[in-house]
Structure 1
Amino acid sequence: MTSTTHTRSARFDLRARDLTPGGVHSNVRLGGPRVCFDRGEGAWLYDIDGNDYVDYLLGQGPSLLGHAAPAVNAVVAREARRGSVFGSQHVLENEAGELFLDTVGWAERVRFGLTGTEADQAALRLARAATGRTKFVRFEGTYHGWLDNVLVTSVDGRIRPASAGQLAHHLDETYFLPYNDVAALEKAFANHDDIAAVIVEPVMCNSAAIQPRDGFLDEVRRLCDRHGSVLIFDEVITGFRVALGGAAEKYGVTPDLAVYGKAMAGGWPVSALAGSAALMDQLTAGVVHSGTFNSSVPACAAVIATLTELRQAPPYERIEAHGGTLMRKIGELGAAHGVPLRVQGLPVAFHASFGDPRTIHHHAELEAIDTAGYAKFVEVLVGHGIWVAPRGIWYVSAAHGERELNAVVDRLDSALAAETRVRRTAG
């Protein structure tokens, strides 16, 4: 199947540019293909020109159960008839909280919010309050939101603000270290006594789906314990995706605080900050965390419905099988067409690019692969009915099955044939 007509999407985009900067409501979408979708269903998207796409972006990851999951939307629609926000507690909050904590397993308290960005900031604030220290450690290539103290880019190997108008001195709060480098973390602790927290994406899904080396997260835990620092897992992506209990369950390492979002609520905008009672109860002892729409009725309903579905009918084996087969097929099709298409990561969230097939363990090694060339290739994939992110991440959902696998393999084969013709002409 080849999608070649996007006439109505183009008209929509022109009008959108008159209404909002760049025609989009998130800068992440500026560099992607301009397609206007009419609806999503399961693992498929349908645009306003009548084209269909097998979807491996899943709204940047939230739709673990697929788009418009009936089990979630029916509950949200029913409960939203009661209202949305009351400026007080409501009857679903305890149910959502109990279900969340029981599913995660290790945490004692939870606060619901809207975005991972705000929850990360709350976690850092709690860590500073608990330790009386001011700095935190993070790892190069991780993403913890778009605010001034966490948004960075790398220029010639040096960390820089990623946005105009960003206050560069806010980055002075941070020690930037290579991921998977225990020695660098040991050195940081040896040289600095002001580290309040270490915040880490257990799997660097935002950077080539880099996984932790064996023992890395255990060593981070050990060093935080030794030096009295708070360990924060940013599980906005990995939470409920890599395992029912997230990365903490998968890798057997318990953080002090963790931030969740995306897959937790079936596509509805909900985040969570969870942790020990000793830390979290400081939110009643001087540490401020607020939000008008925190723990709204639809949010709590979405959490309840999603976690109930994940617990009663765990999709993880099916997702692993689908994703593992897809990763293998991508490599085989690339080789068959003579295109250096490489994949790495987990079956539930993996990264595709062009270039050296060796596994990447550090953000700096991204220079060895052709991410820019792959981003251009995504335009070809979209033209053949495959919806993925230009930055390379592929997400797999519970809605992906044999039909979707057959479709993506057939469409990828056609896209690679087109790419090969272009390369031959250019050569």
Structure 2
Amino acid sequence: MPRPLQVPLSFDKSAAQIAAGAKLVAGGVNSNFRLGMSPGPLVFERGEGAHLIDIDGNRLIDYYGGMGAMVLGHNPAPVCEAVTRQMQSGILFAGQSMVEYRAAELIQARIPSAQRIRFGSSGSEVAQAAMRLARAATGRRTIVKFEGHYHGWFDNILWSTAPAQNAAGPSDEPVRVAGSLGQSADDGRGVDVLQWNDLAALERRLARGDVAGVIMEPAMCNQGAIAPLPGYLEGALAACRRHGAILVFDEVITGFRLGAGGAQQRFAVTPDLSIFAKAIANGFPAAAIVGRADLMDMFVDGVLHGGTFNSHPVVMAALVATQQELTPAHYDATSARGLRLRDGVAGALAAAGVKAQVTGFESMFHVAFGLDAPARNYRDLAQANKRGYALFALALLRRGVRVLERGAWFVSAAHDDAIVDQTLAIVTEAALEVAAQLEG
């Protein structure tokens, strides 16, 4: 039997503040992705290393990691110091600054596809830039995306990111499912949806000759943490080459987590274009589109890319400082602790009799309850016991560990051995508690 909680954490002040804040801010939050968790959205005072401190005074071990952005942890000194120095020199110039060229040099040296670079402020917007380039370069309209892959919240790409199975159609011919009320159906006519990790299906679709671009997460990490099947990425690139389409890797999550060179370096496949955000600047609103010189140079030959805050000097200073901290020693240490945590979570769940698949990578992994085998695509993942995992997430939170209810765990440089040990002890207790609930 699980031992009872001595003092379950209270989140009453957060609940009260969210209720009060809802009179000012719709729903009390400024992103819908901050809704839906139990016992409700939390309000934080500060972050310290691997911890967040909320307004109830709870000190929580944080595996949200700013939705994957905080690769170094909260408030790393080198990043904070670089930002402070830049603020003393200037905030926004409506022109260029030397720090943005230093940032570009660092990205170009790391990312195989980065012959040219443009900076933006969010993953959603650089995804739009990538699709615009693909259409301009090919003269075609259609973009192919994959079920479960997320490329931003705009109408023309928010399709089948997490479709209900009763609406998604057959696996071999998925139905395009809107992600929001009010979404323009006209915009969806430029998007076709396929199953990921199915090379034959992609080849058949490309053979029709009307596809401008194929956009995918090179490892599926928005839903789950699923590696590409052997040969899939290589085959996708070759198929795009044969049929005149542009291959775009969305590395908003995988970039700088699966290695300094992203998933494209890890899997040795260089796409035409790539997009990055999140961990690129450890929580500052930086994003980048990078790619082949001939494609990227279209931005100075008729293809519009703009933004008041693009290459914001303060953000670029954070990006430079973050990249300088992402050394081989960082990846070695974080990888070792991340793997120990991932395997420890799997072991604790198995010991408690909870059926689960714990899959993924060193500093980002995913836990799915109820699956008999690792998922290969969204349809597999959709069979998971989401309610059971939500109970587990709540049991962890009440003990001081904060994890995303969608199953993702993000490990940072600040999650040291002692924190991993503490987490695994709490996971063991929570696993026993949820096992009893699932049996009941």
Aligned with 1:352: secondary structure? strand
Distance change (3 Å), C-alpha of 1:108 and 1:175: same
1:80 aligned onto 2:87: yes
> 2:199, 2:232 within 8 Å by CA — same for their partners in 1?
yes
Amino acid of the structure 1 residue aligned with 2:217: E
Distance of 2:67 and 2:8 partners within structure 1: 22
Cα deviation, residue 339, structure 1: 2.1
Q: Percent identity?
A: 41
* Residue number among 122, 133, 146 corresponding to 1:139 in the alignment: 146
> 1:330, 1:341 within 8 Å by CA — same for their partners in 2?
no
Matching residue of 1:160: 177
Distance of 1:126 and 1:293 partners within structure 2: 20
Alignment of 1:203-352 (within 5 A): 203-311=219-327, 314-352=329-367
Cα deviation, residue 17, structure 1: 1.2
Distance of 2:372 and 2:340 partners within structure 1: 17
Distance of 1:416 and 1:361 partners within structure 2: 25
Aligned with 2:288: secondary structure? strand
Distance of 1:308 and 1:4 partners within structure 2: 37
TM-score (norm: length of structure 1): 0.96
1:75-123 Cα deviation digits (max 9, x unpaired): 0111111221111112212111112111224411111110000000000
Q: Which runs of 5+ in 2 are unaligned?
A: 1-5, 169-174
Cα deviation, residue 423, structure 1: 3.9
Aligned with 1:128: secondary structure? helix
Alignment of 1:22-101 (within 5 A): 22-32=27-37, 33-101=40-108
Distance of 2:390 and 2:26 partners within structure 1: 22
Distance of 2:304 and 2:315 partners within structure 1: 21
Matching residue of 1:384: 399
Aligned with 1:394: secondary structure? strand
Distance of 2:295 and 2:306 partners within structure 1: 16
Distance of 1:362 and 1:86 partners within structure 2: 45
Distance change (3 Å), C-alpha of 1:276 and 1:62: same
* Residue number among 195, 199, 206 corresponding to 1:182 in the alignment: 199
Matching residue of 1:364: 379
* Residue number among 187, 199, 205 corresponding to 1:170 in the alignment: 187
1:422 aligned onto 2:437: yes
Distance change (3 Å), C-alpha of 1:332 and 1:345: same
Distance of 1:384 and 1:288 partners within structure 2: 50
Matching residue of 2:425: 410
Cα deviation, residue 395, structure 1: 0.9
Cα deviation, residue 421, structure 1: 4.0
> 1:54, 1:407 within 8 Å by CA — same for their partners in 2?
no
> 1:3, 1:51 within 8 Å by CA — same for their partners in 2?
no
Amino acid of the structure 2 residue aligned with 1:244: A
Amino acid of the structure 1 residue aligned with 2:178: P
Cα deviation, residue 34, structure 1: 2.3
Aligned with 1:19: secondary structure? coil
Matching residue of 2:128: 121
Bigger shift: 48-57 or 265-274?
A: 48-57
Aligned with 1:18: secondary structure? coil
> 1:343, 1:357 within 8 Å by CA — same for their partners in 2?
no
Distance change (3 Å), C-alpha of 1:385 and 1:357: farther
Give the count of matched residue pairs: 423
Distance of 2:46 and 2:12 partners within structure 1: 17
Aligned with 1:159: secondary structure? coil
Aligned with 2:247: secondary structure? strand
1:364-415 Cα deviation digits (max 9, x unpaired): 1123321232123312211111111111111111111111111111111222
1:224-260 Cα deviation digits (max 9, x unpaired): 1111111101000111110100011100000111000
Amino acid of the structure 1 residue aligned with 2:274: A
Cα deviation, residue 41, structure 1: 1.2
Cα deviation, residue 55, structure 1: 1.1
Distance change (3 Å), C-alpha of 1:2 and 1:105: farther
* Residue number among 102, 108, 112 corresponding to 2:119 in the alignment: 112
Hey, which bits of structure 1, 4+ residues long, moved more than 3 A?
Answer: 420-424
Matching residue of 1:149: 156
Aligned with 1:259: secondary structure? strand
Bigger shift: 48-57 or 410-419?
A: 410-419
1:293-347 Cα deviation digits (max 9, x unpaired): 1101111101111111113x54112222112111221122112222223311112
> 2:282, 2:318 within 8 Å by CA — same for their partners in 1?
yes
Amino acid of the structure 2 residue aligned with 1:249: Q
Distance of 2:229 and 2:356 partners within structure 1: 23
Distance change (3 Å), C-alpha of 1:340 and 1:150: same
Distance of 1:284 and 1:251 partners within structure 2: 31
Cα deviation, residue 2, structure 1: 5.1
* Aligned Cα root-mean-square deviation (Å): 1.5
Matching residue of 1:102: 109
> 1:44, 1:55 within 8 Å by CA — same for their partners in 2?
yes
Bigger shift: 411-420 or 301-310?
A: 411-420
Amino acid of the structure 1 residue aligned with 2:176: I
Distance of 2:159 and 2:244 partners within structure 1: 26
